[in-house]
Amino acid sequence: MAESNKKRKMATLADDVAAIDKVYFDGYLDHTVHKKMLGDATRMNAYRAAVEANVHLFKDKVVLDIGAGTGILSLLSAKAGAKRVFAVEASAMASDCRKTVEENGFGEVITVVNSKVEDIGDKLPGDVTKVDVIISEWMGLLLVQESVLDSVLWARDHFLAEDGVLFPSHARIYFCPASLSKELAVWDDVLGFKFEALKRRAKEQLLLTSPLRRTLSGDDLMATKPMLFKYFNLKTMQVSSVRSMRSTLPFTLKGPFDAIAVWFDVRFAYGTNSEDSGSGKDVIVLSTSPTEPFTHWEQAVVVLPQTVPTPEGAVVKIGCVMSQSEENFRHYEIGFEIPRF
């Protein structure tokens, strides 16, 4: 009886994962999603620069592109001289990806695989068991939202050669107290009239839909500097390290705040003294910071229930907990611990 219950539970879990995946992958059939990503000059220029600066890592090598989408990273890899590229795309976008590969003349180099990478098995097409490069644009809101990083790390453990490389190679998450005053300012004065009741309603609705995706500026940040929440080296990290993350960080404040801004950067670190640390003059950084050029990720903004009335110069220690959702493994939940003033 216990074994039967266990099998039913496993079957239910598999059904849940399949349902979550279907919703997730179907979301990438909307052309506007790909238009936004391909039109993100900061994103595209960083990947192009990373590949072109490291042609020696691609030329005559085997490349695995995870979550290939339109195939743009596979095309960059093939253009850099890759001997063979496997473009793995789980959604029905694989069909358009295959056509894009053909129309750009790389049909003999790039093989499009319509599958989750975890479902491929022990061998890629042609009985290929190891690749030299894994390239992917796996980043979501809060960096880890969507959990494509899980798939990248699975592929690393199953397919990447011992001396293989990952593009990007490192990632960092930052957070900082912030203010929504500019967004809410519209309610303060319209033709000389105040709308405090609607302002409160607006704040309540923002709280319910938090975290928001917003484009902030440095002026919206209410601490003298952001703090590094987490750092990852993709070559050595374990997937368990992103299941639940916690840290408490000190901030010197510039005044009251009613939100926390979260953003990330990823790094392409190959060359002198860069591969371990992810830093150095030769490192290419793709940043989603509010003080850097715009990206389609913008920033994540977590709205607080109340304004924290801290004076300028006060130092506050803020705890952050970010965990993979138990109900939907592609979602993350985030919370902050802020002392009372």
First to last CA, the chain: 56
Active-site residue identified among 102, 137, 298, 327:
137
How large is the angle between the packed helices 93-103 and 72-79, nearest 10 degrees?
A: 30
Active-site residue identified among 103, 118, 146, 275:
146
| Radius of gyration for the chain, computed over Cα atoms and rounded to the nearest angstrom | 22
Alpha helices for 176-226 (secondary structure H): 181-184, 196-209
The answer to whether 34 and 73 have CB atoms below 8 angstroms apart is no
Q: Where are the beta strands (DSSP E) in the chain?
A: 62-66, 84-88, 110-113, 131-136, 160-167, 170-178, 212-214, 227-233, 244-252, 257-268, 284-287, 299-308, 315-324, 332-337
Give buried/exposed letters for 82-110 (b at 16+ CB in 10 A, else e).
bebbbbbbbbebbebbbebbeeeebeebb
Q: Which one-letter amino acid corresponds to residue 94?
A: A
- 275 an active-site residue? no
Spatial distance between the Cα atoms of 53 and 244, rounded to a whole number of angstroms: 34
Local structure of 13: helix, strand or coil: helix
Spatial distance between the Cα atoms of 260 and 251, rounded to a whole number of angstroms: 12
Give buried/exposed letters for 160-180 (b at 16+ CB in 10 A, else e).
beeebbbbbbbbbbbbbbbbb
DSSP per residue over 58-91, as a string?
Answer: HTT-EEEEET-TTSHHHHHHHHTT-SEEEEE--S
* Dihedral angle computed from the Cα positions of residues 54, 56, 62 and 65, in that order, rounded to the nearest 10 degrees: 10
User: Would you give the DSSP letter of residue 196?
Assistant: H
- 137 an active-site residue? yes
Residues recorded for the chain? 341
Active site residues: 137, 146
